[in-house]
Structure 1
Amino acid sequence: MATSEILEVSDPSRLPAAPVVSVLMVAYNHEAWIGAAIEGIVGQEYADGFELVIGEDCSSDRTREIALDFQRRFPNLVRVITSAHNVGPAANHARVIAAARGSLLAFCEGDDYWCHPGKLAAQARLLQENPQAAMVHADWVRSRRDATGAWQHRPEHSEHARLPLRHLQGDLFHAFYFGRILRTCTLMVRRSALEAYKAAAISRPAYRFEDTVINAYLTSRWSVAYWPEVAAVYRESPGSLLRSGVASKISFLRSSLQFDSDARRFFADRADYPQAYRWELAVGMALWALKGRDLAAFREAVSDLWRHFGILGGLRAGWETLALRLPRARRRREGQR
Structure 2
Amino acid sequence: MDEFEKALQERFLLQEEYLGDNKPVNESFPLVSVTVTTYQHVNYIRDCLNGILMQKTDFPYEIILGEDGSSDGTQEICKEYAVRYPDKIRLFIRDRRISQFVRKDGTVSRFNGIWNRMSARGKYIAWCEGDDYWTDPLKLQKQVNILESDKNIGFVYSKFQLVNLDNMLIENSSTVSNQLSHSKTGYLLPSLLRNNFPQTLTVMFKKELLANFDKYYSYGYDWPLFIHICGKCKSVFLKDVTGCYRINPNGMMASGTLKDVDNGGFTTLNGAFRAYLCGEYKAASILDKLKINVYMYYRLSKGDIKDSVELENCVKSRLLYQLMRRMTFVWAFYIKKK
| TM-score bucket of the superposed structures, by smaller chain | 0.7 to 0.9
Equivalent position to 1:104, from 117, 124, 128: 124
> 1:1-337 to 2 correspondence within 5 Å?
3=11, 5-10=14-19, 12-15=22-25, 17-86=28-97, 87-88=99-100, 90-145=110-165, 150-154=166-170, 159=176, 167-177=183-193, 181-194=197-210, 196-198=211-213, 201-203=215-217, 206-207=218-219, 210-244=221-255, 248=257, 251-252=260-261, 254-268=263-277, 270-273=289-292, 312-321=329-338
Say which SS state the counterpart of residue 35 (structure 2) adopts.
strand
Structure-2 separation of matches of 1:81 and 1:134: 27
Structure-2 separation of matches of 1:41 and 1:310: 51
- Opposite residue 264 of structure 1, the aligned amino acid is F
Q: 1:244 to 1:43 in 2, by over 3 A?
A: same
Q: 1:129 to 1:107 in 2, by over 3 A?
A: same
Structure-2 separation of matches of 1:254 and 1:202: 15
Q: 1:129 to 1:210 in 2, by over 3 A?
A: same
TM-score (norm 2): 0.73
Q: 1:162 to 1:255 in 2, by over 3 A?
A: closer
Aligned-residue CA RMSD in angstroms? 3.4
Say which SS state the counterpart of residue 272 (structure 1) adopts.
helix
Say which SS state the counterpart of residue 52 (structure 1) adopts.
strand
Structure-1 separation of matches of 2:223 and 2:72: 29
Percent identical residues: 22
1:291 aligned residue: none
Segments of 5+ residues of structure 2 without an aligned counterpart are 101-108, 280-288, 305-324
Structure-2 separation of matches of 1:109 and 1:59: 14
Structure-2 separation of matches of 1:278 and 1:98: 34
Say which SS state the counterpart of residue 159 (structure 1) adopts.
helix
Q: CA deviation at 1:218?
A: 1.8
Structure-2 separation of matches of 1:278 and 1:69: 53
**2:180 and 2:197 in contact (8 A); partners too:** no
Aligned residues: 286
Segments of 5+ residues of structure 1 without an aligned counterpart are 286-307, 322-337
Q: CA deviation at 1:160?
A: 6.3
Q: CA deviation at 1:258?
A: 2.3
Say which SS state the counterpart of residue 335 (structure 2) adopts.
helix
**1:177 and 1:215 in contact (8 A); partners too:** no
Once the two structures are superposed, residues 56-106 of structure 1 have per-residue CA deviations (whole angstroms, 9 ceiling, x without a partner) of 111121111111111111111111012344413631112111211111110
Q: CA deviation at 1:226?
A: 2.5
Q: 1:249 to 1:279 in 2, by over 3 A?
A: farther
Q: CA deviation at 1:318?
A: 3.3
1:324 aligned residue: none
Once the two structures are superposed, residues 224-273 of structure 1 have per-residue CA deviations (whole angstroms, 9 ceiling, x without a partner) of 1222100121111121223336xx47624624112223323332364322
Structure-2 separation of matches of 1:46 and 1:320: 42
Q: 1:40 to 1:55 in 2, by over 3 A?
A: same
TM-score (norm 1): 0.73
Once the two structures are superposed, residues 185-226 of structure 1 have per-residue CA deviations (whole angstroms, 9 ceiling, x without a partner) of 1111111112x243x6223xx23x532112112222211122
Structure-1 separation of matches of 2:326 and 2:91: 48
